[in-house]
Amino acid sequence: MRWMRAAGRGLLAVAVVLTGYMASGVPSPGVEGAGGRGPMTLATAGDLTGYLGPVLDGWNRAHPAEQVTLVELPDSADETRAQMITDLRSGGGRFDLLNIDVAWTSEFAAAGWIAPLERGRFPLESFLQPVVNTATYDGRLYAVPYVTNAGMLFYRRDVLDREGLRPPRTWAELERQSRTVAPRYGLDGYAGQFLPYEGLTVNAAEAVYSAGGTILGDEGQRVTVDSTAAREGLAFLARGVRDGWIPEEALTYKEEESRRAFQDGRLLFLRNWPYAYAGASGARSKVAGKFGAVPLPGPDGPGASVLGGSNLAVSSHARHPESARDLIAYLTSEGVQRRVLSEGALPPVRAALYEDPALVARFPYLPALRTSVLAAAPRPKSPHYEQVSLAVQAVAHDAMAQHQTPEAAVRRLAAELAAIARRR
């Protein structure tokens, strides 16, 4: 469906550009050459809430000679990254502006695939500060934060109210309610994104961070994962599957599968990004008006989310870099950032929106989300991030599938990360 909509939009954009050219017989002034202005593409992972097309239409109406065509890549972070890299490695051409996951800035910058940007040109001081760090590499700005993200715990408020319970703030409470309350209502207990892909790296890192552990230090050169905290984190996830309060099916979930399980009324608790709020409140949801979202729990109190989100970066091969930079300024403007939240259900990067009374009334989880974003921990930093992530996913999956004890899994991860660090 989304592919069809995206293709339709692409055709429309092309048609508008051609009309612009033909009306005057020659390209309008400033289309080529002058400061690198002209049409461009914006590549992004799947637009799960379908809001971006209309936002870009706004730009296209105002910039007939600098039309942007949306290229929607797959929903899964890993597949999107692979498609972007295939193009960038071969000299680029398909994608001018890239909406990249916050986890990739270092890797893309180190490889020379994205061009540095001038700080003064973008309203960085209006952004939530932790997100700005995800856009820098080696002291330079290589991207501009666009959307931020923090994992939250979605819970069935109707069920907990009936039981006189508060949403869990500790793993022990989450585990107890998943084991004892969920079955009484015909529900499964807890799920997150547990298929081996970037989402599992995030969920595993959150468990490790929440227990007070870390994975790597010193920009990827020091391996810090061999700790009691990391074992405790993986043991929490592995125990859930072993004892049945994490359904085995969750080992196949990415964001969308897990969102559907929750909104179809099959789960008591779900770890997901805030975008899931929109679907779960929608007309097709069985849990609309019956759920809430709170910060993730940890071993003895609130846990730590991994910082998610995406940054806008200009490809080193961009055909029209000036237009691409102007489009970044448009997408990070107050007006568009408001729509990112109100139409896209995505967490904006502009700090003031989290305190806007009208938005808080419409999105009651905003204050909790702001707390989660400000406390969120970045993913391990490494120019070999992909290999690091693959190693984390593989051991987390093996521990959850009961193929390896959490102790053995952590030892193996430490050895694999040390081998990756030696490759630099």
| Contact of 193 with 271, CB cutoff 8 Å | yes
Query: 118: how many CB neighbours lie within 10 A of its CB?
Result: 9
- Ranges within 204-263 binding ligand GLC (CB under 6 A): 255
| The residue count for the chain | 424
- Separation in Å, CA 369 to CA 293, 299, 357, 364, 417: 9, 20, 15, 9, 31
Residue closer to ligand GLC by CB (options 101, 188) is 101
Residue closer to ligand GLC by CB (options 56, 103) is 103
List the structure tokens of 318. Answer: 């961009």
What is the chain's alpha carbon radius of gyration, rounded to the nearest angstrom?
22
- Ranges within 328-387 binding ligand GLC (CB under 6 A): none
In angstroms, give the least distance from the CB of 145 to ligand GLC: 11
Residue closer to ligand GLC by CB (options 60, 76) is 76
Using the contact rule CB under 6 A, the part of the chain among 96-104, 205-213, 228-236, 315-323 near ligand GLC is 96-104
| Contact of 335 with 59, CB cutoff 8 Å | no
Binding mask 29-58 for ligand GLC (x = CB under 6 A): ------------------------------
Residue closer to ligand GLC by CB (options 206, 232) is 206
309 near ligand GLC, judged by CB under 6 A:
yes
Give the one residue of 47, 101, 326, 416 binding ligand GLC; rule: CB under 6 A.
101
In angstroms, give the least distance from the CB of 398 to ligand GLC: 19
Please give the Cα distance from 190 to 181 (Å, whole number).
Answer: 11
Residue closer to ligand GLC by CB (options 193, 404) is 193
In angstroms, give the least distance from the CB of 337 to ligand GLC: 16
108 near ligand GLC, judged by CB under 6 A:
no
In angstroms, give the least distance from the CB of 80 to ligand GLC: 9
Residue closer to ligand GLC by CB (options 182, 341) is 341
- The residue among 43, 41, 38, 42 whose CA lies nearest residue 64 is 38
149 near ligand GLC, judged by CB under 6 A:
yes
Residue closer to ligand GLC by CB (options 57, 257) is 257
Give the one residue of 13, 77, 204, 373 binding ligand GLC; rule: CB under 6 A.
77
Place of tokens 């729509």: 339
Q: Does residue 134 sit in helix, strand or coil?
A: coil
135 near ligand GLC, judged by CB under 6 A:
no
Q: Which amino acid is located at 1 in the chain?
A: M
CA atoms within 13 Å, Cβ hemisphere of 168: 29
In angstroms, give the least distance from the CB of 192 to ligand GLC: 10
198 near ligand GLC, judged by CB under 6 A:
yes
Close Cβ partners of 66 (under 8 Å, ≥ 6 residues apart): 31, 37, 38, 39, 40, 59, 320, 323, 326, 327
Strand partners, 302: 297
In angstroms, give the least distance from the CB of 39 to ligand GLC: 27
Query: 199: how many CB neighbours lie within 10 A of its CB?
Result: 25
Residue closer to ligand GLC by CB (options 13, 312) is 312
Using the contact rule CB under 6 A, the part of the chain among 95-103, 176-184, 261-269, 290-298 near ligand GLC is 95-103
308 near ligand GLC, judged by CB under 6 A:
yes
Q: Which long-range contacts (CB under 8 A, 24 or more apart) does 159-167 make?
A: 159/185, 159/187, 159/268, 167/292, 167/294
For the chain, the straight-line distance linking the first and the last C-alpha, in angstroms and rounded, comes to 42
Query: 31: how many CB neighbours lie within 10 A of its CB?
Result: 19
Number of residues that bind ligand GLC (CB under 6 A): 13
Q: Residue numbers of the site for ligand GLC (CB under 6 A)? A: 77, 101-103, 149, 193, 198-199, 202, 255, 273, 308-309
